[in-house]
């Protein structure tokens, strides 16, 4: 069925729920027409076509018995991009090539949506995902950041352990899974480093890591920024003490999210920080220390926020819908 009129494209995957549904519902309430594109369904169940002629081009998306032209897309919410879910009947020798070509086709296809308003576009997201850049800009705009070392040198890691008096955590520069629930890997989450862990530090030559001083916590904050608005959820650190360094680990009982209001100066720094990155959306992690200091940890440009809307009734989906429908680009 060919849809008529403007649409808002929601880029995600077939296992996504709640947040994607809440944004779609908010858009519909505002009179917009959401169109969900599950990237893992390409190429088996989702069809893309791109026609080029000398002076014009024409692109279409067909999915779930609905057909649109990319000319109809007024805005795009880039929530998730997943790899193709290919049939097990496909011969293994062809699988890698099919995945590579499918991903290349999707990446090329986004160019046909350049006229749309993005929250946020892939180039900005990739730019913001650089954790070293995050720390530099955070420091430049006035945030307190932990002492940090990024290295593939074992001796440097051991020296840093001494500099922070044995209070050290480690994490990777990139995530290893699609979602927080997908793995219990030691390396995906922020983990406390003990002296005996550094006996095997020579393995860093294969995989550099981030090392940071372990910050004393009163609360950990998830701060969601949407086009100038800020929504905050707080966890008391003593409630999820079993997590040691990261409340996101699977199986951790984290207790109830609480409302929290940031000081005005922190909000202003957030706005400046997001302006530097060119983002309309981002999920931040902060630590509030026992002395009342706000310490910046990182930003995830496509981070999770559903738990805050669900538990605290924060209108984040509505704010995202408003950002998508704003007329300026």
The pLDDT tens digits for 131-165 are 999 999 999 999 999 999 999 999 999 999 999 99
Q: Are strands 168-171 and 209-213 parallel, antiparallel or unpaired?
A: antiparallel
- Asked whether residue 266 carries a pLDDT value surpassing 90, the answer given is yes
Whole-number percent of the chain with pLDDT over 90: 78
Question: How far is CA 171 from each of CA 209, 212, 216, rounded to the nearest angstrom?
Answer: 6, 9, 17
Assign 184 a pLDDT band (cuts: 50, 70, 90). Answer: very low
Instruction: Give the pLDDT confidence score for residue 55 in this predicted structure.
Output: 86
Q: What angle do CA 272, 274, 35 make, to 5 degrees?
A: 150
pTM of the model: 0.89
Question: Which residues have C-beta within 8 Å of that of residue 102, sequence separation ≥ 6?
Answer: 42, 43, 84
d(CA 314, CA 324): 18
**Residue 157 · residue 198 · CB < 8 Å:** yes
Assign 203 a pLDDT band (cuts: 50, 70, 90). Answer: confident
Assign 289 a pLDDT band (cuts: 50, 70, 90). Answer: very high
Of the listed ranges 63-72, 121-130, 189-198, the one predicted with least confidence: 189-198
Instruction: Give the pLDDT confidence score for residue 185 in this predicted structure.
Output: 39
Cβ count within 10 A of residue 196: 7
Instruction: Give the pLDDT confidence score for residue 177 in this predicted structure.
Output: 45
């Amino acid at each position: 069925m060919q849809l008529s009129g403007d649409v808002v494209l929601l880029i995600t995957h077939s296992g996504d729920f709640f947040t994607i549904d809440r944004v779609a519902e908010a858009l519909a309430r505002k009179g917009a027409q959401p169109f969900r594109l599950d990237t893992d369904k390409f190429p088996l169940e989702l069809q893309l076509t791109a026609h080029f002629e000398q002076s014009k081009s024409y692109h279409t998306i067909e999915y779930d018995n609905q057909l649109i032209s990319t000319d109809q897309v007024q805005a795009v919410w880039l929530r998730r991009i997943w790899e193709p879910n290919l049939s097990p009947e496909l011969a293994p020798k062809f699988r890698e090539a099919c995945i590579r070509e499918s991903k290349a086709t999707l990446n090329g296809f986004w160019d046909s949506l350049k006229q749309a308003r993005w929250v946020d576009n892939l180039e900005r997201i990739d730019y913001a995902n650089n954790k070293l850049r995050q720390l530099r800009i955070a420091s430049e705009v006035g945030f307190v950041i932990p002492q940090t070392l990024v290295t593939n040198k074992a001796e440097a890691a051991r020296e840093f352990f001494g500099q922070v008096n044995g209070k050290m955590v480690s994490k990777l520069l990139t995530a290893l899974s699609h979602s927080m629930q997908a793995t219990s890997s030691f390396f995906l989450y922020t983990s406390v480093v003990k002296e005996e862990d550094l006996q095997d530090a020579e393995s860093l030559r294969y995989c550099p890591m981030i090392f940071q001083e372990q910050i004393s916590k009163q609360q950990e904050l998830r701060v969601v920024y949407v086009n100038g608005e800020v929504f905050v959820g707080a966890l008391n650190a003593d409630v999820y003490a079993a997590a040691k360094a990261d409340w996101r680990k699977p199986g951790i009982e984290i207790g109830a999210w609480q409302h929290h209001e940031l000081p005005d100066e922190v909000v202003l720094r957030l706005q400046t920080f997001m302006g530097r990155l060119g983002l309309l959306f981002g999920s931040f992690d902060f630590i509030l220390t026992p002395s009342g200091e706000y310490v910046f940890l990182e930003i995830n440009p496509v981070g999770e926020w559903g738990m805050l809307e669900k538990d605290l009734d924060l209108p984040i989906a509505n704010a995202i819908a408003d950002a998508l429908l704003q007329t300026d680009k």
